[in-house]
Structure 1
């Protein structure tokens, strides 16, 4: 059997698939961050906590209410999105016109409160969540077998990312939203409810984080720490792609997942830090990120 880097081709492809799954989570999470920062100018440090909330709500729905994975796939992002809307109306709305660092500090505090609340109830141990029966098998490609659920995660992530990019960059609603951020008074003169659009944008951004949490539940154990364990990497993805760049977040998230998977094969000791090494290199060469606008 043909080998690459000392591994059979099938094993190498398997590692790349695992990396692509991780990249799918990076893409959705960084997409939500990019939407919120690019359109609202807020560095949303509570994103990891809201991702965790999506996963835990999914676990709670199954264990307390008997709700299926498919129900929670829709319900959890909506619930977290509504929570995000309340956050925007009661907290973030007050700090839009001041230094962005206040938004970072505020959302960081919110993240600590959310994580601390769930830790006080469930501790730090992970809770298992099984994939739905419809996605529990494997796909046999003859030369390789792939867990069906992981293929599902990649497909959903790509569809959601492309749909979000298309909505914001290629539709009238997206153009209104971008214009509302640049010149809200002018857009309001055309009868557009700008405050509602801002609230909706934040709700959608955090809803994407919750969706990633639902998708992650059967892959990793659900725990109050799952958000804090991933948010730093996701911020690195956003910086590499370009702060506020939606296309950059999608492409960079998926690409870095593949790079991580390949690094685990070639030099496993580097796999946990390769993202940060790349971030440092990119910032030296192109401070605005790969897809960011140079000033």
Structure 2
């Protein structure tokens, strides 16, 4: 049996793979936060609640309307993203010129209202969501048994993450979005509808959270508090990568997942706090984050 620092290689590889799965969630959720802050300068504290809404939309759609998992992957982000558009249009736009703190407080209040309403309606107990037949089973990798669904989760999350990065950083639409946030008056002078771009950007960030919620539904319990439990870690990931950095959110999310996996092998007691220790060190050395731009 091959040992690395006294740990069997199979155990090490298994934890790294689990870390990659968790890191895919971190990357996808962090990406939505990074887009909303980077392009709109809104600290979206309702992101965890919107993630939860995506999972509940899939769960309720299946149980009451017969909406399949594959349809939910499209319909839930569209529905919750539309809800996000209403939030930006009728709430966030009213405080667009104010300090970032106002947006944080508003979205924090929204998160409490949404989660409290769902606790009242559904209680705190979790609901199960079945894995689709096409993604049942798994693969024997030698060092562990990898469920097919978890492999799909990693692929789906990474494809969406890098497609989003490409759209924002390498396309004309992305250049319009970036320019519209840096100099909106100039863009409007060229005939670009900047308020519409802002609204759609916020809606897309919310839709990414809802997409992550649908992906999470078959492997985590669907509960009103599922987003709150994950949001603090995701915020730490965004801070480490650099507030507003798209690539920083993706790379840091994956890296934190892998680091957590290694920590569970060598020092399990620190696994839940490692991300915050890394955040403290990064803020002391580079306050803008690893991929962020200095003010």
- Normalised-by-shorter TM-score class: over 0.9
The structural deviation recorded for 1:195 is: 1.0
Unaligned runs of 5+ in 2: none
Correspondence list, 1:251-270, <5 A: 251-270=251-270
Tell whether the 8 Å contact from 1:282 to 1:289 is kept in structure 2 after alignment: yes
The structural deviation recorded for 1:2 is: 1.1
Give yes or no for the alignment of 1:207 onto 2:207: yes
Structure 1 segments of 4+ aligned residues over 6 angstroms from their partners: none
The structural deviation recorded for 1:142 is: 4.0
Cα deviations by residue, 1:121-166 (Å, 9 ceiling, x for unpaired): 1111111112111111102334543111111111111111111111
- Taking structure 1 as reference, are residues 81 and 145 closer, same or farther at Cα in structure 2, changes over 3 Å only? same
Tell whether the 8 Å contact from 1:282 to 1:290 is kept in structure 2 after alignment: yes
Tell whether the 8 Å contact from 1:36 to 1:201 is kept in structure 2 after alignment: yes
What corresponds to 2:274 in structure 1? 274
SS of 2:226's partner is coil
What corresponds to 1:148 in structure 2? 148
Give yes or no for the alignment of 1:169 onto 2:169: yes
Tell whether the 8 Å contact from 1:5 to 1:265 is kept in structure 2 after alignment: no
Tell whether the 8 Å contact from 1:19 to 1:260 is kept in structure 2 after alignment: yes
Give yes or no for the alignment of 1:4 onto 2:1: no
Cα deviations by residue, 1:72-119 (Å, 9 ceiling, x for unpaired): 011110000000000000000011101110000000000001101111
What corresponds to 1:20 in structure 2? 20
Unaligned runs of 5+ in 1: none
What corresponds to 2:184 in structure 1? 184
The structural deviation recorded for 1:65 is: 1.4
The structural deviation recorded for 1:243 is: 0.4
Correspondence list, 1:48-67, <5 A: 48-67=48-67
- Taking structure 1 as reference, are residues 7 and 181 closer, same or farther at Cα in structure 2, changes over 3 Å only? same
Tell whether the 8 Å contact from 2:72 to 2:214 is kept in structure 1 after alignment: yes
**TM-score normalised by length of structure 1:** 0.98
Cα deviations by residue, 1:173-207 (Å, 9 ceiling, x for unpaired): 00011111111121112221111111000000000
- Root-mean-square deviation (Å): 1.0
The structural deviation recorded for 1:61 is: 1.2
What corresponds to 1:39 in structure 2? 39
Tell whether the 8 Å contact from 2:55 to 2:216 is kept in structure 1 after alignment: yes
Distance 2:10 2:61 in 1: 37
Distance 1:288 1:75 in 2: 36
Q: Structure 1 residues 8-17 or 242-251, which shifts more?
A: 8-17
Tell whether the 8 Å contact from 2:20 to 2:258 is kept in structure 1 after alignment: yes
Distance 1:65 1:140 in 2: 36
Q: Structure 1 residues 108-117 or 131-140, which shifts more?
A: 131-140
Distance 1:279 1:253 in 2: 12
Distance 1:8 1:131 in 2: 31
The structural deviation recorded for 1:66 is: 1.6
The structural deviation recorded for 1:11 is: 2.4
SS of 1:139's partner is strand
The structural deviation recorded for 1:46 is: 0.2
SS of 2:43's partner is coil
Q: How many residues align?
A: 295
What corresponds to 1:133 in structure 2? 133
Distance 1:237 1:74 in 2: 26
What corresponds to 2:78 in structure 1? 78
Correspondence list, 1:170-249, <5 A: 170-249=170-249
SS of 1:230's partner is helix
